[in-house]
Amino acid sequence: MRRIPLIIDTDPGIDDAVAISFAMFHPEIDLRLITTVAGNVSVDKTTDNALKLVEFFDVDIPVARGCSEPLLKPLEDSSEIHGESGMGGFHFEKPSRTVLPVHAVEALREELVKSEEPVTLMPIAALTNIALLFKLYPETKEKVKEIVLMGGSLSRGNTTTAAEFNIFTDPEAAAIIFESGVKLTMIGLDVTSRAVLMQKEVKQIETMNRAGEMFAALFSHYRGGSMKTGLKMHDVCALAAIVQPELFDFADTHVEIETGKGPANGATVADLKMKYHTETNATVALDVHVEKFREWFLEMLEQTK
Ligand code: BDR
Ligand code: CA
């Protein structure tokens, strides 16, 4: 079976942790590199968390530490959602593995250059590392098959009324990515907020295997939704869109990133009716089939060990 070469750029992050874990064990995914960035918590913490996951599953996937700050804005983290450490609630062993000796942007470049086939990028955090990669090494774009990202929203945001967290954190980086000409799919907050796990699934997950036990412990500290209204599996949706696109409805459109300093800063303005553009630059998710997503989630967990 031909597997999809994949790089995840991430800020774990509880929903990031689930997405990374599933990608590690998905039979059709060849996870080649994890790069970290500041976002939910500092880059030191997100890097430590990525190493903890690699160690927990005892898999040899390299981790490279990326940017500690957005391109222009100061970092405003999201520790109120993911806890002080970014992945609280479960006691991970201190990782014996260490990060690659190069910056994430260099690791991305090296991995892309040496790959025989184009690689899929799955950013589930602020787009700082990828934006720098494209600015420093524009030739690497040719080695990117597509970018499938969690971020933005076709309706309102979660950090401000207009903006979703990953795009709000680094709108200038997002603008570089959306204007890069690379094939791009955006799985936005309006869709991922519907991809929720209810208490019933969380109970089931807890007893399924050691990964499920770890997830359930993290979920007990996660403030992305609630047990009553459902826990939002934002970042997991990006992986689902790569391996199981039929779980979503999509449209091709043009998305502009608002970088002005006002209340729309970080908004992803989609021209769904193509009234203002003749060229599309993104495929956007419009909806998720929630019950099927939950079934898929449980299937994924079964093979995550
Ligand atoms: C996004 O923000 C982060 O807190 C989550 O991990 C996800 O990537 C949702 O807005
Ligand atoms: Ca994330």
Q: Is the pLDDT of residue 55 over 80?
A: yes
User: Which has the higher per-residue pLDDT, 10 or 227?
Assistant: 10
Query: Which protein residue's CA is at the shortest distance from atom 10 of ligand 1?
Result: 165
Please report where in the chains the tokens 């979920």 appear, as a residue: 219
Q: Does the active-site annotation cover 234?
A: yes
Nearest ligand to residue 8 Cα? 2
Q: What is the mean predicted confidence (pLDDT) over 230-247?
A: 98
Determine how many CB atoms are found less than 10 A away from the CB of residue 146.
17
pLDDT at 130: 98
Give residue 284's pLDDT band: very low, low, confident or very high (50, 70, 90). very high
Helices (H) and strands (E) in the chain, counts: 12, 13
Give residue 2's pLDDT band: very low, low, confident or very high (50, 70, 90). confident
Strands 184-187 and 144-150: parallel
Mean pLDDT of the chain: 97
Instruction: Give distance in angstroms: CA of 191 to centre of ligand 2.
Output: 15
pLDDT at 38: 97
**Protein fold of 4-189+235-289:** Inosine-uridine Nucleoside N-ribohydrolase; Chain A (3.90.245)
The DSSP line for 50-84 is HHHHHHHHT----EEE--SS-SSSPP---HHHH-T
pLDDT at 224: 85
Instruction: Give distance in angstroms: CA of 14 to centre of ligand 2.
Output: 8
Q: Is the pLDDT of residue 180 over 80?
A: yes
CA atoms within 13 A on the CB side of 12: 27
Domain ranges of the chain: 4-189+235-289
**CA pseudo-torsion sign 237, 242, 245, 247:** negative
User: Is there an atom of ligand 1 within 6 Å of 81 CB?
Assistant: yes
Determine how many CB atoms are found less than 10 A away from the CB of residue 100.
17
User: Is there an atom of ligand 1 within 6 Å of 16 CB?
Assistant: yes
Give residue 115's pLDDT band: very low, low, confident or very high (50, 70, 90). very high
Instruction: Give distance in angstroms: CA of 124 to centre of ligand 2.
Output: 5
Q: Which of 234, 254, 277, 289 is catalytic?
A: 234
Mapped onto helix, strand or coil, the DSSP state of residue 131 is helix
Q: Is the pLDDT of residue 1 over 80?
A: no
